[in-house]
Every structure is written in C-alpha cells, then in structure tokens.
Structure 1
C-alpha cells in the first residue's frame, strides 16, 4: 500500500545527537523577545518625542535604549526619526501602552526586575497620557 521510508528524516526526533542546528535556551529566547518589545517601544517613544517633546519622554527613551543595548550584548538599538505626518497622540500612547505591557509580561517571565520596572513605569505614563484631556487647536 505505502512505500517504506528509505531516507533518514530531516527532523531529528531522537534524543540522541541534535547538534545539526543551533539551539537557544529559554532565557536566550526571552532576551530576544524582550529586546524586540523594548526596541518597538523605543521607536514609538521616539515618535512621541518628535511630536510632543518632554523631559519624561527623553529620559524614558534613554533608559529604553540602555535596556535594549544590555539585552543585545552592547549593540545599540536603531533610533527612529519622526514620520513627518500628522500623528494622533492618543494612538501613539495607546500603541506604546500595549508594547510596554508586552515587555512587562516577558520581563516578568524572565525575572528581569530592571526591565519590568521600566515597562511598568512606561505603562503608567502612557495610561496617564491617554486619560489627559487633549487640547484642541482652533482653526482660523
């Protein structure tokens, strides 16, 4: 009915030698995930800084860049430049809040206290920014 398998499987399912491809530990995978979430949060923070500059955002972006560099073994993250379009601040704060939440989950699972505190602080700051009434600019 079926033809027998004549070649060795490309997927190693045996507990023996599995050195055919690189493996990462759970901690390494979490480091990569956390660095990615923090780098994405840094990009949104840089966008916010360009749209509505503040000392809080300046300090946060520096701390985020330091954490990303630490997780990437000293490699500094790429910094974004403002897109130049009309950006809604509430949408940026909402996106930053979500990214900080994801970073907090990963930081907590890898027991990275410094990153978890930073992510929680950023969540609070972006939640507060969303709650503030936005100024309307008059036309004419």
Structure 2
C-alpha cells in the first residue's frame, strides 16, 4: 500500500472532519462540487485530504449567502485558472444583493430593539403603551 492510498479518507471521515453529513457529501459529488472519489481495493469511496478543506469552503460560502449554483460557478472559475468574462458583473450583482440583505437585517434589528425597549410581551395582544410592531392591527385586519 502506498503512502497516497494511506492518506486518503473514507466517506465518514471526510463528512465528520468537514462537519457535514454523508448525504451532503454525496449530493455535492452529484452536483460536481467535489470530484468523484476513487475506490479502495475493497470498494470503499476514498477522498484526498483536501476534500475536507473544499467542503468547509463550500459551507462557508453558503453561510455567507451564496447559492450552490453560485458556489459551483466560483469553483469552476477557479479550476479553469482564469475568470469568466462576466465575473465582475456577477460580483457587483451579489454585492447589491448583500447590501439589500444588510438593510433588511438592520430594519429587523431596529424593530426588535424597539420591542425590547417598549417591553412588549406579545406579538398579537401586546399590552405595552406604544407597541412598535403593528402585529395586533394586522391580525385584526385579516379577521375582518
């Protein structure tokens, strides 16, 4: 057995080290996000150690708001070694989307800060004097 074969990881090892489940690992294989694994003499899937790093990068990109399609495009661009012609345009569109999400999150944060300050105790039957959230009014309008 060569050193390279000894260093390869089995499915469960890769999944555990990357913090994903085995189904996620196989799904990413089907999507082409990670290379199809080699097989051991016993027929087990085996992966190079850098597969763990790739999976961690994919999951981090998802947490940051990238879709799997976007991740696949970025990985493909990296594998080709040269950017695609529309990379700048896509990056600008993603930045605009992120700015919109940040604005939405800031709005939610501000509203929740007002709820905490007003000591609201219910979203539908709030008893505070000046509820910053109009949920009670919205509920009444829907029942009419």
User: Normalising by structure 2, what TM-score?
Assistant: 0.28
Name the structure, 1 or 2, with higher relative contact order (CA <8 Å, separation 6+): 1
Bigger share in strand: 2
Higher CA-based Rg:
2
